[in-house]
Chain A
Amino acid sequence: MSGNPEVGPSKQKKIWGKLIKPADLLLVLFLVAVSVAALFLIPRGGDVVEVTLGGKTVWKGSLTEEKTIFVEGKYHNTVCVGEGSVWVEDSDCPGEDCVHMGKISGGQIACAPNGMLVRILTEGEGGADIVAE
């Protein structure tokens, strides 16, 4: 402004200015907000349902689709997939614990008498475990 090329302490102080400005706080809060918002953007459609009978995969598919699977083993389970959850609709096994598990959107439902297992696999699960050094 003054045309003085000399860069002295006063100018220096001006450049670094106050050590904390209002915009700093906004910037940092914005970044934190973005990171929290990003959590909701993690694709949930990646979840996969796997139905196994005696260790063998009977059916595998996305949690988002609508599907009814009839599992024929020693007993009979009717597994339904829909609206982002999975449940055992009907079973002729003793106890019917699997039916009582209700709808799940994570974890697993087991029908021990039939040897049936419904699992929800989150995308990437079972992949290589890495530990940051």
Chain B
Amino acid sequence: MWRNEGTTRKLARIALLSAVAIVLSIMENALTDLVGFALPGCKIGLANSAVLLALYTVGLWGGAFVGLVKILTSFFATGSVTVLWFSLAGTVLSVCGMWLLLAFAGRWFSATGISGAGAVLSNWGQLAVMCLLGESGLYLYYLPLLTVFGALLGSLVGFVTGLIVQRVPLFHGKKSEL
């Protein structure tokens, strides 16, 4: 889509989506503290919505940049290097995975499935880091649970993102102000 738009437009789009990612990341951190999700590493993945939008509207590098912003935000918000490694692994995997799905099988999947797969990949990446840091394969028993949660929450986020894109004129083509 937006093939005809200029670099400036793309830049503006990335900047805007980065801002969205920052806000959602901070909101997410607050939410996680508030609700105190029993599962470590299990988040709703709200900020993934911005990454998804960037992938759809700007492409791989847009998604990667917004993903990077998301990682740095959660790093600065928590100040934990462990969190940095977790989110780095998760985001790299999920951005690459979602982009591959979008680029090569985009016509079969909607945002719901792609976001769900992205969330699952993100959780897999985090679990891999967990195993490496803990030098233990035992954490793998956690895999199905994390996958189910990732699939459910990720799909939900993707679905809502899709709804927003359909309803908000901002995302509609050339006439958009974005």
Contacts and interface: CB of A to CB of B under 8 A. Distances in A.
A128 B113 CA distance: 36
B104 interface: no
A120 to B, nearest CB: 14
A16 B113 contact: no
A39 B141 contact: yes
B7 interface: no
Interface string B110-125: 1111101100100010
Contacts of A16: 56, 110-111, 162, 165-166
Contacts of A28: 113, 116-117, 120, 151, 155
Contacts of A23: 105, 108-109, 113
Interface stretch (B11-19, B61-69, B79-87): B79-87
Which label, helix, strand, loop or mixed, suits the secondary structure of the A interface? loop
Nearest to B97: A31
B110 A19 contact: yes
Contacts of B110: 16-21, 24
Contacts of B165: 12, 16
A57 interface: no
Interface residues of B, number: 52
A127 B159 CA distance: 41
A32 B148 contact: yes
Interface string B63-100: 00000000000000010101100100000000000000
A19 B138 contact: no
A17 B137 CA distance: 41
A42 B140 contact: yes
Contacts of A122: 138
Given A43-B137, A130-B134, A15 B1 contact: yes
A5 to B, nearest CB: 6
B162 A125 contact: no
Contacts of A20: 110, 112-113, 159
Nearest to A21: B110
B8 interface: no
B1 A7 contact: yes
Given A8-B173, A27-B109, A27-B116, A13 B137 contact: no
A1 interface: no
Contact of B1 (A11, A36, A129): A11
15 contacts: A9-B173, A11-B173, A19-B110, A19-B159, A20-B110, A23-B105, A31-B117, A42-B137, A42-B141, A123-B137, A129-B134, A130-B133, A132-B41, A132-B86, A133-B80
Interface of A: 5-9, 11-13, 15-21, 23-25, 27-28, 31-32, 34-36, 38-39, 42-43, 46, 122-125, 127-133
6 interchain residue pairs of minimum CB distance: A24-B113, A124-B136, A132-B40, A35-B147, A7-B173, A23-B108
